[in-house]
A = this chain, B = another copy of it.
Amino acid sequence: MGVTMRDVALLARVSNKTVSNVVNDHPHVHPETRARVQRAIAELGYRPNLSARGLRSGRTGVIGLAVPDLRQTYFAELADAVIAAAERRHLSVIVGQAGADRDHEIAVIENGLKQTDGLLFSPERLGTEDRGLLDQVEYPLVLLGERIFGGPTDHVTMHNVEGARAAVEHLVGLGRRRIAVVGAHPDRRTGQLRPSDLRVRGYREALVVAGLPEDERLERVAAPWHPADGAAATRELLASGVEFDAVFALNDALAVGVLRALGEAGRRVPDDVAVIGFDNISTGHFTLPSLSSIDPGRDEIAEVAVGMLLERIGWGEGTSRGPRLHKAAFRVVARESTGGTDT
């Protein structure tokens, strides 16, 4: 503490500027001078003051990541991927939780996160109707997910519709004909771009393609997407007496609950009922049976999102290029719950 650039400059018998050049890897520094400066830095244990650098350069080297709740495995794994991607670019990440609280999310989007150069935001409560908020945003922002799609903002997201379709096609390929879906949103307004709505759409598309009838009784509401809600929806499904030989859970957390409820009821998975989830969280390896899922490309999402944000930060205020959209590649992961052998 307390060693400044000036101290280094004095010891190395150079100016402030030269030390700065060395520290920032600028070219045009005589190798000998560079070595001398580096020796002085080591000797004094000099470490740049990042607040000062931030003040001068207008950059903090920190980005923000706002998610609803780290206790949901998907978001923890997303944070892991984002932190890793940021680290590769020598950035730090401030993590904020908006707690699935609409007002909190509005506050986040209006203000960003303190001390950051830009924000990666995965909202849960904001919808297309909040698009107007995005016009006010005057800091670099990249949205994760497509809930507010249509604004001026970059989005990085997953193939919700196509992934869901692939999940159901996988079940169809197993010969299942009565496929239930668990996790539909209780509020069925149209025009929303919630993951639940998009995935239900993919489910229906797959049924149509397969020539299977749609049956409203097979579409079960569950919210929020916690295991308990998946279990409750499945118990209702069982109690309703409607026949089914497969369940598509709209995410893996729900699927864990589905597996539990099926187990309680004595239904064997996958023999009686095949189950597939969505998100491919690591939990899926260790359920009994292990859980098939759609891998939404989490690492790609993180990598691309950080890259986009960095570009936005670099472009500065003036340059407002149009919004970009990136959808990561997905894949079907077949584990035991749909007859696979992987765990």
Contact = CB atoms under 8 A, between A and B. Distances in A.
A62 B94 contact: yes
Given A1-B317, A49-B55, A260-B288, A95 B79 contact: yes
A70 B138 CA distance: 31
Contacts of A260: 286-288
A256 B286 contact: yes
Contacts of A73: 73, 76
A33 to B, nearest CB: 26
Nearest to A47: B111
Contacts of A227: 285-286
A223 to B, nearest CB: 16
Interface residues of A, number: 51
A83 B70 contact: yes
Contacts of A114: 50, 61-62, 92
Contacts of A162: none
A257 interface: yes
Nearest to A65: B95
A70 B76 contact: yes
A139 B50 CA distance: 15
A80 B84 contact: no
Contact of A1 (B55, B138, B285): B138
A231 B1 CA distance: 49
A259 to B, nearest CB: 7
Contacts of A228: 285-286, 343
A283 interface: yes
A54 interface: yes
B115 A92 contact: yes
A77 interface: yes
A132 interface: no
A113 to B, nearest CB: 7
Contact of A71 (B80, B93, B259): B80
B282 A71 contact: yes
A52 interface: yes
Contacts of A49: 55
Nearest to A73: B73
B50 A52 contact: no
A118 to B, nearest CB: 13
A96 B82 CA distance: 11
Interface in A1-18: 1
A69 interface: yes
**7 shortest interchain CB distances as A-B pairs:** A51-B54, A76-B76, A227-B286, A51-B55, A70-B80, A263-B288, A260-B288
Given A79-B79, A95-B95, A228-B285, 18 more contacts: A1-B138, A49-B55, A51-B55, A51-B60, A54-B54, A62-B114, A62-B115, A69-B80, A70-B79, A73-B73, A83-B95, A92-B113, A93-B95, A115-B115, A227-B286, A228-B286, A231-B286, A260-B287
25 contacts: A1-B139, A47-B111, A51-B54, A52-B55, A54-B54, A54-B55, A60-B115, A62-B62, A62-B94, A69-B80, A70-B80, A70-B83, A71-B76, A71-B80, A73-B76, A76-B79, A83-B97, A92-B94, A93-B94, A94-B94, A227-B286, A228-B285, A231-B286, A260-B288, A263-B288
